[in-house]
Amino acid sequence: MKGKASRGKILLIDDNELLQDLGKDIIEHLGYTPIIASEGEEGVEIYRKEKEEIQAVLLDVVMPGLGGLEVFRRLKNINPEVKVLVISGYSEEKRAGELMKEGALGFIQKPFKIHQLSQKLQEIMEGK
């Protein structure tokens, strides 16, 4: 991270390797330390162990195994104050809508640009 202090950790839970790589680069560019989980169970376990250091979670909706909604519910059980930004290739009304109803703090549709993710993360961090 080229000498900059981290602003905290961001957990990205997504099964798409291309998005993992892109997400890692964007998270680092924004000054956070990325943690990548390639499936839901892994993401829940990472969050359970590192919840004190994780500032926010970027959560894909559709993944093999444990899907986004169940992952979200488990994260909320671990920490009711968890900050989750839903990322999905589907529109908000379809799959992501249920997560929003249950308390996810934002939604961004894939593919997204760096400035879009940056803006959404900043909104979540500032509680907007």
The yes-or-no verdict on residue 111 having pLDDT over 90 is no
Angle at the Cα of 96 (from 68 to 86), degrees rounded to 5? 65
The pLDDT assigned to 128 comes to 65
pLDDT digits (tens, 9 = 90+) for 59-72: 999 888 888 999 99
The yes-or-no verdict on residue 39 having pLDDT over 90 is yes
Residue 22 to residues 46, 97, 127, Cα–Cα distance (Å) = 20, 24, 25
pLDDT band at 2 (very low <50, low <70, confident <90, very high): very low
Average of pLDDT values for 105-113? 85
Average of pLDDT values for 71-99? 86
Tokens representing 9?
């950790």
